[in-house]
Chains A and B, each alone.
Chain A
Amino acid sequence: MSCAFSTIQELRKQLLAKEVHPTEVVESLLDRISSVDPKLKAYNYLHPERALESAKKADLSLPLGGVPIAIKDVINVRGEPCTCSSRILEGYIAPYDATVIERLRAAGAILLGRTNMDEFAMGSSTENSAWGVTRNPWDLSRVPGGSSGGSAAAVAAHEAIAALGTDTGGSIRQPAAFCGCVGLKPTYGRVSRYGLTAFASSLDQIGPLTKSIADAALLLEMIAGQDPRDNTCAPEHAPSFSKKLGEEIRGMTLGVPKEYFVSGIDPEVEAATRKAISHFEELGAIIREISLPHTSYSIASYYLVATAEASANLARFDGMRYGRRASGCDDLLETYGRTRDEGFGREVKRRILLGTYALSSGYYDAYYLRAQKVRVRIREDFLAAFRDCQAIVTPTSPTPAFCLGERTEDPLQMYLADIFTIAVNLAGLCALSLPCGFTRSGLPIGLQIIGPMWKEETILQVGYAYEQSTDWHTRRPPLE
């Protein structure tokens, strides 16, 4: 069997036992990519020679020695393009490594390629990419989710052993749910954002997309921890996230928020989630109904806070120092205006407009400030809930993967796809998604486990207990 199908842990065993050489690993992934990626288009960019070169020099004594990792095309890798799936960055070559990339290199990982995404991570379907859509490996007529859809599809289709994505409102967890893999959004401040092209700075986090919970724990361990170049990256000790894997969850209290089981949720998603909750009970966990009363305000708060931050962050793309510049303009303002009009896609323009409006004179208090205050209420809901439980269990997304084109003309419908994931970012918490079933038509369903700040260990422990006693994660998409 091709080693492309391995998890990080399995691959490391094979590498250390000398059953396989790192160059063979890269070659088998490149084979897999050339056979399935023409259908999926998970990758924006591959540099096979560079990956093979790193494989030759791989140091197997390092924790990720010889393990190829795919990187979302929003994280800077020195000497490689970082397009954020936007025309405005066409031709841009990153002059430096993001901190997470430095750390992956130091851990021995091989950087395999750059994965597709919604432009500047704005979207829930990977349809807002200047380089074309990525398709769901389980059903090619459906979206892989987004914005880290390329990373999720690559991992689920075994075109990568694991990947990095970013999560601002669900962009790791929702595609992980749609593609049937594990996705972890770390606590805000757990992972350095240095070298990540910013979307919404108070919400963005980099995290792993993997084939197993143990892999997510290991990959997080490699990228987490304080960084002097990101002063929002907290000095909290980054523990061994794998330490509690395998510890039983008997006696642990898991909260189930009543507000997450309301109208609009797909019946098969609800049934799979309820079944997972019963499964936790069988494993000895105590299930407690909790309330997060401000849940229904999270999308409204998010789309003001995130777009306001985005409108400021994306002001840097002005065609002066890097990226595209419109030609034939008469003056500076026309150069700015046309560069940005030609360079940005529709969703990015829409969000810049909304954010600019929310911050503009006369509207700031009514929109941005109010949204920030509602955000405090959302956070208080979680703080209160975590007095009664150690983790919270919910569906990751109200529906399984939707069809390509189904929501592109209705931005609000697209935004509602993130209803169960967004509050976690607003509150700065950690959460993961893992497979908890399939629909009758064969689409994966994701279960979300939310933890308090800095409690990744707990959600990984809970996720591992579930994963090890079910077999959803062993299924493979019908691509052959």
Chain B
Amino acid sequence: MPTLGIDVAYVADLARLRLSPEEIETFGNQLEQVLAYVKKLEEVDIREIVLIGEEKGFQNRLRSDCPLPGLSQKEALQNAPQQASGLFLVPRILE
């Protein structure tokens, strides 16, 4: 496994979390501890294991692709933080 030294600020950015400097330090220490603990997985011989799907024996079960009743526009929008004219209002992404 890689050497420890987790860049919490970078990982938080990947996870879209804006953390305070205090959180970055605390989480950094705690994650180091957890990662040190999970290093024990290196002791297990996994060379011959091939993952065939996640759960061997399970198969995808697809249903036929036919229309079923879904949420109405009103229901879909009922929890929107901001909405207008039947649409979700979201922050601008293009200048």
Contact = CB atoms under 8 A, between A and B. Distances in A.
A370 B46 contact: yes
A394 interface: no
Label chain B's interface by main secondary structure.
loop
Interface in A290-339: 294, 296-297, 299-301, 303-304, 311, 315, 318-325, 329, 331-338
A375 B16 CA distance: 29
A320 B90 contact: yes
Contacts of B92: 331-332
Interface residues of A, number: 68
B35 to A, nearest CB: 8
A238 interface: no
A353 B38 contact: no
Contact of A202 (B31, B54, B90): B54
Interface stretch (A100-108, A168-176, A358-366): A358-366
Interface string B29-61: 011011101101111101001010011101011
A372 interface: yes
A321 B75 CA distance: 11
A107 B27 CA distance: 46
A349 B27 contact: yes
B14 interface: yes
A336 B90 CA distance: 11
Given A325-B81, A366-B1, A370-B41, A412 B17 contact: no
Nearest to A380: B49
Given A325-B81, A334-B18, A341-B18, A376 B51 contact: yes
A235 B2 CA distance: 42
Interface in A369-386: 369-374, 376-377
A315 B44 contact: no
A362 B3 CA distance: 12
A350 B18 contact: no
A127 to B, nearest CB: 16
A439 interface: no
Interface string A394-437: 00000000000000000110010000000000001000000000
A377 B17 contact: no
Majority DSSP secondary structure for residues of A touching B: helix
B62 interface: yes
A189 B61 CA distance: 12
A331 B15 CA distance: 17
A261 interface: no
Given A234-B58, A323-B79, A340-B17, 18 more contacts: A189-B58, A300-B37, A315-B16, A319-B81, A324-B81, A332-B92, A336-B16, A349-B19, A350-B31, A354-B34, A357-B6, A357-B35, A367-B38, A370-B41, A377-B49, A411-B34, A412-B30, A428-B55
26 contacts: A91-B79, A95-B75, A95-B78, A228-B63, A231-B63, A303-B34, A304-B38, A325-B81, A325-B82, A329-B91, A335-B91, A337-B17, A341-B18, A350-B30, A353-B11, A353-B17, A354-B34, A356-B11, A357-B35, A366-B1, A367-B38, A370-B46, A373-B44, A376-B46, A411-B33, A411-B34
| Pairs of residues from A and B, 6 with the lowest C-beta to C-beta distance, nearest first | A337-B18, A322-B79, A325-B81, A373-B46, A300-B38, A356-B15
